[in-house]
Homo-oligomer: A and B are copies of this chain.
Amino acid sequence: MSILVVGSVAFDTIATPSGRVQDLLGGSATYFSLAASYFTDVRVVAVVGEDFSAEQESVLKKRGVDTRGIEHAKGKTFRWGGQYMENLNEAKTDFTELNVFEKFQPRIPDAYKDSKFLFLGNIHPVLQSAVRRTMDGVRMTGGDTMNFWIQGAPKDLAETLKGVDILLINDGEAKMLAGERNLPRAAHKVLAMGPKALVIKHGEYGATIFFREGAFGIGKHPFRAPALPIEEVKDPTGAGDSFAGGFMGYIASQEEINREVLKRALFYGGVMGSFAVERFGTERLQSLTRDEIEARFQVFRELTHLE
């Protein structure tokens, strides 16, 4: 079933120990769309500037992503520059030029309104809530956020969380959002804010999904998917959004939402994140095959599977 993602499209300038690239196509909606496109139909709502070329849009179109919801505004596309040096898990931001993204007001095309799955990428929680209200017929809503909104717009974020079924954030964000340093305790506090399930991403250590009791008609025991130990991390940018794309995309491709589907989704999230970091930008996500994805899924499964 179709999934609608709202988020950013950006040009990234990135330095890592493996090299430096400039104005590479990126943004949360881009990574999410590409990753999810291997599982289901994807529709994207975002804003770009006059410097966004047909060639860049074709990266998404080639993967079958519906780009009619990308608004072309006057001005320049959102730009971000950052570097990953010693610690590949954490980016140091060099610059952020919001440009057309500053006044972004997501508009959902009528053709998107029958989407059954919604992903609220990391944008201002007020915009996330507005989109969520427009899409009140969806079966499941996933969401992302970050420290910037947790600290800067806590009330707006609290409102957003009431409309999110599954929140996907990392360890640091979960602890900050809950005001609690113990991870499972933090998870329970976040679940009390609204989401039925919480996916906490641990970077190279995988991810854990925590459930509100009775959510999705399943038990409350958490589930953890490992990540593949990767020797060559070229560029961690977009790993989290690619994770979300694999996770939500797989769920949207299934008939039912049950514990086993959510478990497998967590593995597919890790699989797509692991591909994303192997090359700069979205390169690796542009040319995968479903066979490659399944092969890595099996490697991930084998990684922790007891007979």
A-side interface residues toward B, CB under 8 Å? 86-88, 181-185, 187, 202, 204-206, 208, 210, 221-226, 229-231, 233, 260, 263-264, 267, 299, 301-307
Bound-complex Cα distance A222 to B224 (A): 17
Number of copies: 2
Q: How far in angstroms is the closest Cβ of chain B from A211?
A: 12
Bound-complex Cα distance A7 to B50 (A): 68
The residue on B at minimum CB distance from A259 is B307
Structural contact, A223 and B264, CB atoms closer than 8 A: no
Of B184, B223, B263, B304, the contact of A223 (CB 8 Å cutoff): B304
Residues of B within 8 A of A183 (CB): 204, 229
Structural contact, A224 and B304, CB atoms closer than 8 A: yes
Residues of B within 8 A of A204 (CB): 183
15 additional A-B residue pairs with CB within 8 Å, beyond A208-B229, A221-B303: A87-B181, A184-B230, A184-B231, A185-B231, A205-B206, A206-B224, A206-B226, A221-B299, A222-B229, A224-B303, A226-B226, A263-B306, A304-B305, A305-B305, A305-B306
Structural contact, B86 and A181, CB atoms closer than 8 A: yes
Structural contact, A303 and B222, CB atoms closer than 8 A: yes
Q: How far in angstroms is the closest Cβ of chain B from A150?
A: 19
Residues of B within 8 A of A205 (CB): 202, 205-206
